Amino acid sequence: MAPFRECFFRAMNTDIQVSLGTDVSLQEDVTNWFSRIERRFSRFLPDSELSRINKLSGKTTLISAAMAEVLALAEMYRHKTDGIFHFMLLDALQHAGYSRSFEQLAPMRDILAEPPVPHDSQIYLNAAMRSVKLSPGTHIDLGGIVKGWSVDRLSDWLKREMHVTRGLLNAGGDLFVWGGFDEDEPWLVGIADPYNKEVEIAQIALADGAVATSSVLGRRWQTKHGDMHHLIDPRTLRPSKSEIVQCTIVGSHVTECEVWAKVACIVGLSAFLPLLRRHLPHCDALLVTQTGELHFAGDRNRFEERWHGAAVDFIHDTIVQEGWIHHG
């Protein structure tokens, strides 16, 4: 069995962890991949492909295959989530104060008292021409999906093309594992307490699978109108105000987990549970509320099999029954 080769670096404004069971060093391939993704999709780089698309709002422009793929995915999830996952809200995000890379944000960012005036944001994708046109005045931000997509695409390449049989790719808490930690042991993925990052609230035992976490407490800043965060509610064009402060979803694909974790934080627990039952029967969710309550939603059998150390207050068994079981 090949030993693990590990590397740690920063890209896409987050910490990247890579652990691959291989006799061949693939560090350069991995770092180059994330560097290319950042150069193409960052809204903070004025010469990125995404910035070029935003500058040409209202006009048709040719795009790369990677951009076409991510835009098609983003549009699919926008429709699937009834518009809650929305990647055409860059103006609202900047209005809330997130106008530059997070580590460069100054405290008490100046924002206007009212959010931007809503307008009919539309995107027109032409697969045959491989082009895109944004409706005039529309600007996009793909930060809510491209990190998960980049992990999914890279892990698929490593498995299929490079024949890496065991691995972990972790991009700021959005991760994919495969092959187990060894022949007899799964990977153990820790979930941090959103109120104390030094403490884990649970561990997930996974041989193969995806995990993504979204939180309103991480990318947060102060303004004269109060605290702001990066998850914009498309219904108000302001940072969301549900009782969920963090959601972790475990499933098959990081992109899917990343999108729905954000949706959960935006819509809140009661609205999210029916969505989980309808769209994600193969997924589990661990949700933390403003009051510190810990909720598990998903298959109770999976909870007992692979979730460790999770002192949940409520279990919402979305497979067998509706409602909740109180463990407090």
Tens of pLDDT, residues 176-188: 999 999 888 999 9
Q: Answer with the residue of higher pLDDT: 204 or 99.
A: 204
Tens of pLDDT, residues 155-184: 999 999 999 999 999 999 999 999 999 888
pLDDT at 136 over 80: yes
pLDDT at 102 over 50: no
| The residue to which tokens 């403003």 are assigned | 290
Task: Answer yes or no: is 209 a known binding residue.
Answer: no
pLDDT at 104 over 50: no
Contacts of residue 179, Cβ cutoff 8 Å, sequence gap at least 6: 21, 164, 165, 166, 167, 207, 208
Q: For the domain 177-326, what is the CATH superfamily, name and number? A: ApbE-like domains (3.10.520.10)
How far apart CA 305 and CA 302 sit, in angstroms, is 5
Confidence of residue 93 (pLDDT cuts 50, 70, 90): confident
Specify the pLDDT at position 147. Answer: 96
Specify the pLDDT at position 116. Answer: 58
How far is CA 228 from its chain centroid? Answer: 18
How far apart CA 272 and CA 268 sit, in angstroms, is 6
Tens of pLDDT, residues 238-285: 887 899 999 999 999 999 999 999 999 999 999 999 999 999 999 999
| CA separation, residue 142 to residues 85, 203, 204, 211 (Å) | 11, 29, 28, 19
